[in-house]
Chains A and B, each alone.
Chain A
Amino acid sequence: MAGSGQIRQLKRRIRSVQSTQKITRAMEMIAASRILKAQARVRAARPYAEQIHDVIKGLAVSNEVRAHPLLQVRDLERVAVIVNTSDRGLAGAYNANVLKVADRTIREEESAGRNVDLYVVGKKGAGYYAYRGRRPTRIWQGISDTPVIEDAAAVAEVVMDRFSNADIDRVWLVYTDFKSALTQSPVRMELLPVKPEEFGGGREISPDFMYEPSQGELLDRLIPRYVEAKMLHGLLESAASEHANRQRAMKAATDNAKEVAANLSRIMNQARQDQITSEISEIVGGAEALNE
């Protein structure tokens, strides 16, 4: 028999679900506005990356870029993997997906007999590896949400230094590519060594060019900037993907909350009707007993 106690309990649950729904709705809308901002930042960073690439290609026509320390191809003994994850959760399968690609990369490298150094961006990735007993060489927190060039340069500098010292022989960058608002897919990119083919096909710079300092020194300065631009690209794409995943996850949560609240109020209404019915039959029954 449905009592008023049950109705009160249901009312309380509906209120709690509805307030959760308000929170998830707010998070959904925040994420949605941040996707647009993050996408705009991906686009804004493109001209620099393209132009620095063009300048290096131009210089590479008449200069040997292969000698640069960041282009050295060595026997692979130690490999670095940089994984871009988020600091905050509630982003659906965002972190799980990118970590899957990272794990596959680590497995492949290790089964080929290479040592793997792990570099992790984001609290979630750090927690994941801490739980599995793998100690990252370096962890960066607080940069994945809105990455700036200083962050990209800081990460890139660590691996470029170690690569130049021949401590590591290859660097993988694992991040999430923002294909569209609907699809984001985890990808990996070989950040180092930089391949000489990347600088091929440049238009020859006319011979009356003036260089300050020399062409070789300019190349030495520009190639690390190129690597940093790639790192920034990975961070920015990941940030946009994180927001897109969070928006989707929060939309699903909001929809689910709506459904749960609707079901609960249906049960509550039924309970209320049952209560009224039984009250009426009690009154009718009582009145009939008096008439007899």
Chain B
Amino acid sequence: MSDATMPVEVVSAERHVLSGEITEIYARAVEGEIGILPGHQPALIALDIGPVRMRMSDGSLQQVAVHHGVLFVGDDGKVIVLADIAEPASDIDVARAERRKRIIEERLAHTTDPALRRSLRKQQLRVELGED
């Protein structure tokens, strides 16, 4: 089991983010956390705002901040993450995300706009992943 890998491809609306061979992938689905190992049954799963963590075949960990999208496991075992927005942890500008998070938090003190709440979650995710 431990030797088995599966190809993965992470694509955002703007660009191809990464591809490679992985041994496991974890993501936050709309209905809860999911983990997928090689040999998983074909699936189509809607993703929430959350980190997608992948263990690459060389043992390194890749983290991508994903803001909505779907995770597709084909019947050939290939995993495709189609994200509205996807940022590799290494690309995240933490200082900027912190700044924007604070601005949104201040504004949220006065209103309860659901769109603003979603933006806050996106910034929180950026900060969380970027700091790792």
Given contacts A51-B80, A212-B30, contact A149 B85 (CB under 8 A): yes
Which chain B residues lie closer than 8 Å to A52 at the CB level?
82
Interface bits B12-23 vs A (CB < 8 Å: 1, else 0): 111110000000
Partner of A47, one of B11, B44, B85: B11
- Do the beta carbons of A55 and B42 come within 8 Å of each other? no
Name the residue in B29, B44, B46, B75 with the highest tally of chain A Cβ atoms < 10 Å from its Cβ.
B44
B58 beta carbon closer than 8 Å to chain A: no
Counting residue pairs across A and B whose Cβ atoms lie within 8 Å, the total is 82
What does DSSP make chain B's interface, helix, strand, loop or mixed? strand
- Do the beta carbons of A218 and B44 come within 8 Å of each other? yes
Partner of A213, one of B34, B46, B75: B46
CB neighbors of B among A177-226 (8 A) = 205-206, 208-213, 215, 217-218, 221-222, 225
A229 beta carbon closer than 8 Å to chain B: yes
A224 to B9 Cα, complex, angstroms: 22
Which chain B residues lie closer than 8 Å to A264 at the CB level?
none
A145 beta carbon closer than 8 Å to chain B: no
Interface bits B83-119 vs A (CB < 8 Å: 1, else 0): 0110000000000000000000000000000000000
CB nearest to A148 among chain B residues: B14
- Do the beta carbons of A209 and B13 come within 8 Å of each other? no
A225 to B72 Cα, complex, angstroms: 15
Given contacts A209-B44, A210-B43, contact A149 B82 (CB under 8 A): no
- Do the beta carbons of A48 and B11 come within 8 Å of each other? yes
Given contacts A55-B70, A55-B72, A221-B70, contact A211 B15 (CB under 8 A): no
CB nearest to A205 among chain B residues: B42
CB neighbors of A among B7-56 (8 A) = 11-16, 29-31, 34, 41-46
Which chain A residues lie closer than 8 Å to B84 at the CB level?
149, 153, 225, 228
Partner of A212, one of B16, B31, B82: B31
A253 beta carbon closer than 8 Å to chain B: no
Which chain A residues lie closer than 8 Å to B15 at the CB level?
41, 44-45
A232 beta carbon closer than 8 Å to chain B: yes
Interface bits A24-56 vs B (CB < 8 Å: 1, else 0): 000000000000000001001101100110010
What does DSSP make chain A's interface, helix, strand, loop or mixed? helix
Name the residue in B12, B29, B31, B82 with the highest tally of chain A Cβ atoms < 10 Å from its Cβ.
B82
Which chain A residues lie closer than 8 Å to B80 at the CB level?
51
- Do the beta carbons of B12 and A48 come within 8 Å of each other? yes
A48 to B82 Cα, complex, angstroms: 7
CB nearest to A208 among chain B residues: B41
A44 to B86 Cα, complex, angstroms: 13
Which chain B residues lie closer than 8 Å to A45 at the CB level?
13-15
CB nearest to B32 among chain A residues: A212
CB nearest to B13 among chain A residues: A149
Partner of A44, one of B14, B41, B42: B14
Which chain A residues lie closer than 8 Å to B12 at the CB level?
48, 149
What is the CB-to-nearest-CB distance from A271 to chain B, in angstroms, rounded to a whole number?
Answer: 58
A232 to B53 Cα, complex, angstroms: 27
A205 to B73 Cα, complex, angstroms: 11
A52 to B68 Cα, complex, angstroms: 13
- Do the beta carbons of A218 and B14 come within 8 Å of each other? no
A55 to B15 Cα, complex, angstroms: 18
A205 to B43 Cα, complex, angstroms: 10
A41 to B16 Cα, complex, angstroms: 10
Which chain B residues lie closer than 8 Å to A221 at the CB level?
46, 70
Question: Beyond the given A218-B70, A221-B46, could you list 4 further A-B residue pairs with CB under 8 A, ordered by the A residue number?
Answer: A205-B42, A209-B75, A210-B41, A225-B69
**Residues on A facing B (Cβ under 8 Å):** 41, 44-45, 47-48, 51-52, 55, 59, 148-150, 152-153, 205-206, 208-213, 215, 217-218, 221-222, 225, 228-229, 232
Task: Identify 21 residue pairs between A and B in the complex whose beta-carbon atoms are under 8 Å apart, listed by A's number.
Answer: A44-B16, A45-B14, A47-B11, A48-B13, A48-B14, A51-B82, A52-B82, A55-B70, A152-B13, A209-B41, A209-B44, A210-B42, A210-B45, A211-B44, A212-B34, A212-B45, A213-B31, A218-B44, A218-B70, A221-B46, A222-B70
